[in-house]
A and B are shown apart, each in its own frame.
Chain A
Amino acid sequence: MSEKNIIELKNVVKTYEQGKIAVRALRGIDLTIKKGEFAAICGPSGSGKTTLLNIIGCLDDATEGEVSVDGQRTGTLSKTARADLRLHKIGFVFQAYNLVPVLTAFENVELVLSLQGVPRGERTKRVKEILEEVGLIELSSRRPAEMSGGQQQRVAVARAVVAKPALILADEPTANLDSVTGKTLLEMMHRLNREHQITFLFSTHDQMVMEHSERLIHIVDGSVAKDERK
């Protein structure tokens, strides 16, 4: 594997059992994503893009094929090793924000660093820096229920970025946001991509996300139909 490849997929197949019928969600995906890319997997609903993102993020297993993230083969890893890989190398941004409701914005961002065992002083410094960067330092002590959707998604991005992972996987991050908020969020993520050299991989069918992405991987019926770089 090349040093520059952060994601490498070889003939990845995913089959779901639905009763007695086997449904093939992914039909032999070959894909590489290089470090620092700002790419999007796009396609219609049910095309397999979220499944692909989940497999890359070690949230789900491939039925066949090989998946490597930052040089590490994920198929054979134990649950704990996968958790460690997610903790140290992958950040997630979800469509529904998925912040921890009982924690404040500050604590939500701090959580990942706390799980990593980063000392309190350094945690505080880094959380403040990233909240400043996403423009939410004034809302540090607010809980998710006290913030708008856009603000929550910015906290989610801050949470994903704060540990400086190699890769951020964002599943339809703008789907629940209005166009202005979505655009602002995308610009922010693009800036973080450039400044911190963090690879971003989106799963989307939002035109705006596709416009902002530097590479579009079109998935149709579980296969890569087109891979275009801008």
Chain B
Amino acid sequence: MLLLKMALRNLWRRKFRTIITITAIGVSYGLLIFFVQFQTGGKEQMANTGIRMQAGHVVIQASGYNLDKELDQAIKDPGTVDRIITETDSAAKVAWRLYTTGSLRSSDGSVLLDRLVGAQPDRERHVSDFPKKLIAGTFLSGKPDEIVIGAAAAKLLQAEVGTKLQLSVSDVNGGIVKVSLRVGGIYKTGGGTVDRGYALVNLARLQKLLRMPGEISQIAIFTDLHSSRGLAQSLREKLKGRGLEVLHWQEALPTLYQVLLVDTASMYIFLIIIFFIVAAGILNSVLMSVLERTRGFGVLKSLGMRPSEILQLILSEAFLMGLLAVIIGLAAGLTISYIVSRYGIDPKDLAGGEQGMEAAGVPMTEKMYPKITAWSCVWSSIFVMVLTLLSALPPSLRAAKILPVKAIRE
């Protein structure tokens, strides 16, 4: 108890240095907390956007199906698969999709479609982001000749709701099929690729055009980020031997997943820099304090204090500094996170332009929010405390090993 009292008073005796050190570590740690939480929130948002627009948490397709290219590799009996999905997870939302490529032409221009999606209007409305991004018209209403296009495509085609467009696609046998459709709705995600090259039509209509009655390219399943891996594994086992493959979103959207991994790696680099600042701050402060008190440690040793007790005394000082810095850092970091989670940060501001950010074809146009989790606070606090004690260890050992006779002479 007396050791702890000494540690506290030693810190207070050098209060200016202690306050500067604690503040520097606390502020760095606070920024770290905010950055980790903002990045976690941003990544989850990006993953969810990609999942809602381009795949699902889990997707099922014919084995070896290469998206948008091989129409003959289709799911022939989606109804049976649908039933198995419902049996496995009754809460999961399911959407059937038929993918192809094509082109759209109007009297004023033409656009190549990277992805033409045949979608089920009722189901798609509940799982996809496109209905929420409409800026004109309505989402697929069930009329056979309607098409929903992006704002960039509409601009190129000089089309608006009701404009007649000619769609050209290749059917399953390679024959060119041309059909007139009317623009039912125009969406704007903010992502250039999606707004220009994506379009949606009714599934039944596209099946008929491609001569693929009852067939689809993919079943997209929507659950949540955390339970999706387990669901994918269960479905893999249940659908074994049916010529189908079950992909987790990380496999279905490999480019997006890689982008998120790179993002995580950049976060770790940032963390290492922050931790280096913390370690250098503690090391400097403790080392200075030890060097200044060499004589004092000699006296304590002459009184009978053991080397281990000297070590304990200095580590207690470092621990107290680390603890205060963590408390300050948590308070600062969580306050910033809380404020930002209320108001959000517009990616357009980060990107510095009218357009939002886009990564791996996924538009990031909605406000980004930090994800405040207890776990991120716990692991980072423990890490800072451990780092603090490790940084304080070399000067503490130096003091513990000091020869009393030499120390007292200083």
Give the residue name and chain of the A residue nearest to B7 (CB). Answer: A102
A54 to B406, CA, bound (A): 10
User: What residues on B are CB-neighbors of A98 within 8 Å?
Assistant: 295, 299, 302, 408
| A159 B306 Cβ-Cβ under 8 A | no
State whether B10 touches A102 (Cβ < 8 A).
yes
Instruction: Give the number of residues in B that approach A within 8 Å (Cβ atoms).
Output: 25
Contact of B301 among A83, A101, A102, A112 (CB under 8 A): A83
Identify which of A69-77, A87-95, A146-154, A222-230 touches chain B: A87-95
Top 10 closest pairs, chain A to chain B, by CB? A87-B304, A102-B9, A60-B405, A86-B304, A98-B299, A59-B405, A114-B2, A83-B306, A59-B404, A54-B405
For the complex, give the distance between the alpha carbons of A116 and B110 in Å. Answer: 91
Contact flags (1/0) for A46-60 with B, using CB distance below 8 Å? 000000001001011
| Residues of chain A at the chain B interface (Cβ within 8 Å) | 54, 57, 59-60, 79-80, 83-88, 90, 92, 94, 98, 100-103, 107, 110-112, 114-116, 159
B308 on interface, CB distance cutoff 8 Å: yes
Closest CB in chain A relative to B131 CB, distance in Å:
68
Is A94's CB under 8 angstroms from B303's CB? no
Residues of B within 8 A of A84 (CB): 304, 306
Contacting pair B303 A80 (CB below 8 A): no
Smallest CB separation, B55 vs chain A (Å): 63
Contacts of A83 in B (CB 8 A): 301, 304-307
CB distance from A44 to the nearest CB of B (A): 19
CB contacts under 8 Å to A, within B294-342, are 295-296, 299-309
Q: Tell me if B13 counts as interface (CB < 8 A to partner A).
A: yes
Extra inter-chain contacts (19) besides given A83-B301, A102-B13, A114-B1, CB under 8 Å: A54-B405, A59-B405, A59-B408, A79-B306, A79-B307, A83-B306, A86-B302, A86-B304, A92-B302, A98-B299, A98-B302, A100-B296, A100-B300, A101-B296, A102-B6, A102-B10, A114-B2, A116-B304, A159-B303
Bound together, the chains give a CA A107 to CA B306 distance in angstroms of: 18
**Who on chain B is nearest to A107 by CB?**
B2
**Interface residue B178 (Cβ < 8 Å from any Cβ of A):** no
Residues 392-407 of B, flagged 1 when their CB comes within 8 A of A and 0 if not, give 0000000000011100
Interface centre among B303, B307, B308 (most CB of A within 10 A): B303
Max chain A CB contacts within 10 Å: which of B295, B300, B302?
Answer: B302
A109 to chain B, nearest CB (A): 11
A94/B306 contact (C-beta < 8 A), A100-B300, A107-B2, A110-B2 known = no
With known contacts A98-B408, A100-B6, A115–B302 Cβ distance under 8 A: no
Residues of chain B from 322 to 365 with CB closer than 8 A to chain A in the complex? none
Q: Which residue of A lies closest to B310 (CB)?
A: A83
Q: CA separation between A11 and B316, bound complex, in Å?
A: 43
User: Closest residue of chain B to A85, judged by CB?
Assistant: B304
Q: Report the Cα distance A159→B9, complex, angstroms.
A: 20
- The answer to whether B5 has its CB under 8 Å from any CB of chain A is yes
Nearest residue (CB) in A for B304 is A87
B299, closest chain A residue (CB): A98
- Docked complex Cα distance between A80 and B302 (Å): 12
**Alpha-carbon distance between A39 and B81 when the two chains are bound, in angstroms:** 101
Please pick, from B13, B304, B408, the residue contacting A88 in the complex, using a CB distance under 8 A: B304
Check A80 against B300 for contact (C-beta < 8 Å). no
- Report Cα–Cα, A111/B2, bound state, in Å: 7
**26 A-B interface contacts by CB (under 8 A):** A57-B302, A59-B403, A59-B408, A80-B306, A83-B306, A84-B306, A86-B301, A86-B302, A86-B303, A87-B305, A90-B304, A94-B408, A98-B295, A98-B299, A98-B408, A100-B299, A101-B13, A102-B10, A102-B12, A103-B2, A103-B5, A111-B2, A112-B303, A115-B303, A115-B305, A115-B309
Residues in A with CB closer than 8 Å to B5 are 103, 107
Contact partners of A90 in chain B: CB under 8 A: 304
CB distance from B226 to the nearest CB of A (A): 51
